[in-house]
Structure 1
Amino acid sequence: MTTKSHKKYALKGAIAMIPLSVAVIPWGLLAGSYAIDSGLSPLESQALSTILFAGSAQLVITGMLKAGAGMVTMLLTTLFITSRHFLYSVSMRDRISPLSLKWRLILGFLLTDELFAICGNQSKDRFNTWYALGAGLSFYLCWNIATLVGIVAGSYLPILSELGLEFAVAATFIALVVPAIKDSPTLIAVLVALFLSVGLHLLNIEGALMLSSLGGMLAGFAAEKVKGSQL
């Protein structure tokens, strides 16, 4: 392909990512302001988005930091929350493995829920590395800019964290999860995780997020096994 073709595909990827990039802006604002509220410096707050680049993990970790959690607990929590990216990478292995190490590292770093939603279902013949790069890089830039604005706003507007921006987290994941519910095992996994997360949170049980996620995965696995045995 020519350089012009590369730019064309990258632009198409960036355009395809625009709705999800816009949806994540309130989340980025919240992540930036929440990090400042948790006692991190502006540089440390921005580094979370630049290096970690994991919205849900950033919000959870900053909350744990504010609560005085230990380093080991925070690392294990981050590992568990981001473990779904391992499943994403396995799902896309047939398209990514033939690429050079440089491309695998770049796309691996940019792989998020949103990028997987855009490129995860593309066939091997349809998948284009420059399209994925344009989508992932545009989302990365949007996330970091939104975080920066949140950091600045959080430094001067202490009430920013009280504006209900955290709903953007739930709204974004709902938009990603609902289209993926295409069979009964997936539906069961989602419902079990939903009810467990709410129930365990109401009971003030520590690790409610991890337990509900594990419960949802086990329920979906069991439902898949039952469904397979009936065929």
Structure 2
Amino acid sequence: MDEVEVVVAHSERTTLRVGDVFLKVDADQARIDVEVEAMALAPVPTPEVLWHKPHVLAIAAVPGVTLGRLGGPSTGSPTAWAAAGAAIRKLHEAPLPPRTGQAGRSIVALTAELDDECERLMTNGVLPADLVTRNRQVAEAALRPWTPAFTHGDLQIAHIFVDGDEVTGIIDWSEAGQGDALYDLATFTLGHEDHLEDVIAGYGTDIDLDLDVIRAWWSLRSLLVIRWLTEHGFDPFAPGCEVDVLKSRM
């Protein structure tokens, strides 16, 4: 008999697994709508949508395993990381979706959000002031004009599945839309800087990739999510996670 597995649960959304079916329950129906639309448009392997109703999306499991997780070792070969890079490039070169995604926030809005979050982190004693200040300086390089691409918007390492050296599926598209391609590359390699070269090898070096911007996104993304993670039951202070990413910039 299949058991119900709670994959992730917090006040905004919950994902359950029953056998080979995932049920995503989301308080924000718009995120489900974005996810269904993005998976239909993306030119990369995505989960099969079984059905969706208000606030619930049912999708089939994808074969394979993830390349690893944030804070843990990578289980994939350099070739698998390169294959992931190639899949990301294919997504970024696809026709633009109609919506602006998580990676497409304006420079003005993003700067204001970042400055506000840095102030809270220091005022509330969540992180030392010098750590926040240094990473805010590094993050500045990400706050520049960019050419819109079809972005996933939350391309964590746990969201790309591979079987051997082949990408079999990319999951969790609720933040997808037009955005900065380097945001996706940074999110995917966050905490796994040693595989950035492999990813870029698969993505291609025939275009201008500013590695300083990717590193800036590591700092920026980490600064923005630490408080949210803490408030929703996750641990950004765990070894190899967001706080360690910030410390590596010192």
TM (norm. structure 1) is: 0.24
Bigger RCO (CA 8 Å, 6+ sep): 1
Which entry has the higher C-alpha Rg, 1 or 2?
Answer: 1
TM (norm. structure 2) is: 0.23
Higher helix share: 1
